[in-house]
Structure formats: C-alpha cells, structure tokens
Amino acid sequence: MVDTHCHIYLPQFQKDIQKVLDRAAHAGITDIMMPAIDIGSLEQMDALTHPHIRFHKMIGIHPCDVNTTPEGPGKQLFERGDADEIIAIGETGLDYYWSKEHISAQQQSLREHCQAAKTLDKPVILHNRESTEDLLDIIKEQQDGRLRGIWHCFNGTPEQGRRALDLGLYLGIGGVVTFKNAGVDRVVADLPPDRLVLETDAPYLAPVPKRGKRNEPSFMKYTAQKLSELFGISLEETDRITTENARRLFRLS
C-alpha cells in the first residue's frame, strides 16, 4: 500500500522512527509520499531509510506557512521541483480556518504551485479547510488539461467531490472517514473507488480506533478497512484498487 500523504519526517517521530517504519512495513506499506510544509522540510526528509519502504519527497509551502515565506516559493518550486527525487508539488492549497488574514497570499501561492506542477508534469497536492469553493474555482481556472493531483484529506459534499473528479483530481481518504459524526463516510461511499487514494496525514488525524493518538502509517489499515465496508469489497481488493490508483497518479514504476 501507498501512504500518499505522511509527514513522517517531523520531530514527533524522531524518538522511535525505526519502530514506526517497521510497523508500517509489517502492515504492508511499501511507499510513503512526504508532503513538504516549507522548503526546509526537504532536508528533514533526507534522513529516512528503511529496507522495505520507498520514500518520496515533495516540495511546497503549506497554506498555513505562506506568511513565513513572504517572497513565496517562486523559482525554487520550478528549479528544485524538477529533480527526479521530487515526486509531486505540495502541499499547497487553502486554509481559511487557521488564517483568514493571508487569504490572498494563500491563493497566490496555490496558483504558483499549480503552475509548477503543470510545467514539471507532476501531481499537485491540495490542502483544504473551510475554503472548498475557492479551492475548486482556482483549480478550474488552472486546469488546462495538464493539471493532475490530489485533494488530500477529502472533506467535501457529494457535489464538491464530483466537481473535483470532473476537474481531474483524485481524492485522498484519511482517518476522517472513520469518524462517526464527520459524515465523510456517506459521501465517499457514493464516489468511484478508482479515483480514491489512501493516506494517513500522520502524525495528525489518526483513524478510529486510534483517534486522538499520534497517527502513523501502519494505522492506514483502519482506513482501508472502513473503505472496504463502505464499498462492500474485501480488504485485499481495497488495497489493490487504491494502490493502483496511487501508482497511476504518481507514475510509480
């Protein structure tokens, strides 16, 4: 399985990283995609190794961090993002929950990330919180046939989900789908499985029954289990479909 969104390089994992990775490998995780929070994230990602897991880096500036990089990602996205070791551009997106005063900077940054993703022919990874309509409007404006990517931690309505699919996006399904009152499960059940990918967003948003704890890649099995129930298919089938989707989108060999 591919954990398509995991901040495994953060200090929360420093103490027991090898054990966390052993548990991930044991749970069937073969690939971990690491979205950046800022340009400095790249150096933190370098330290990770495991005999049975492949690590894939992304470059980007999280929408909650655009104010600490007032000059924007600019040329760095295009120059450093071109390297083979960079699998995608992100995470970018919009977050009106944490920061309403930087909305225009967030939107500008999102546009730059989309342009880099198109130029470099790599997926863009999108964060969204209380900003869905603006996010989809900007993706629509940026979509010229070349843009592909993931709306990570999908949390939209059925219409918003379908709009995102129509715009060419995949939807990242994480622990929230297991939360009782979130309602994401009912929305996801109506979406086509061939456009969904699994993610943890570790160390955040651990699925039930680990809700509230530090999330880690091995917990993705609970999210996969939930998807199996929603679609009425076996866990093996869910693993196969979502892994295939991730491999197609990220063009993994």
Nearer to Zn ion, 127 or 148 (CB): 127
Point out which span in 9-17, 28-36, 163-171, 188-196 binds Zn ion (CB under 5 A): 28-36
Nearer to Zn ion, 162 or 214 (CB): 214
Nearer to Zn ion, 10 or 208 (CB): 10
Nearer to Zn ion, 192 or 242 (CB): 242
Residue carrying structure tokens 């500036």: 61
With contact defined as beta carbons under 8 Å apart, do 59 and 77 qualify? yes
Q: Are strands 2-3 and 31-34 parallel, antiparallel or unpaired?
A: parallel
State the nearest-atom distance from the C-beta of 237 to Zn ion, in Å: 27
State the nearest-atom distance from the C-beta of 7 to Zn ion, in Å: 6
Nearer to Zn ion, 152 or 226 (CB): 152
State the nearest-atom distance from the C-beta of 100 to Zn ion, in Å: 20
State the nearest-atom distance from the C-beta of 62 to Zn ion, in Å: 7
* Beta-bridge partner residues of 172: 197
Within 8 A by CB and 6+ apart from 249, the residues are 123, 148, 149, 150, 170, 197
CA atoms of 38 and 59, how far apart (whole Å): 8
CA atoms of 72 and 92, how far apart (whole Å): 12
Residues 30-69 interacting with Zn ion (rule: CB under 5 A): 35
Number of residues binding to Zn ion, judged by CB under 5 A: 1
- Helical packing angle, 158-166 and 132-142, nearest 10°: 10
Nearer to Zn ion, 35 or 175 (CB): 35
CA atoms of 247 and 5, how far apart (whole Å): 14
CA atoms of 176 and 56, how far apart (whole Å): 24
Residues 162-221 interacting with Zn ion (rule: CB under 5 A): none
Taking the CA atoms of the chain, what radius of gyration do you get in angstroms? 17
What is the maximum span of the chain, computed from C-alpha positions, in angstroms?
A: 48
CB environment 171-193: b (16+ within 10 A), e (fewer): bbbbbbbbeeeeebbebbeebeb
Nearer to Zn ion, 35 or 81 (CB): 35
Binding site for Zn ion (CB under 5 A): 35
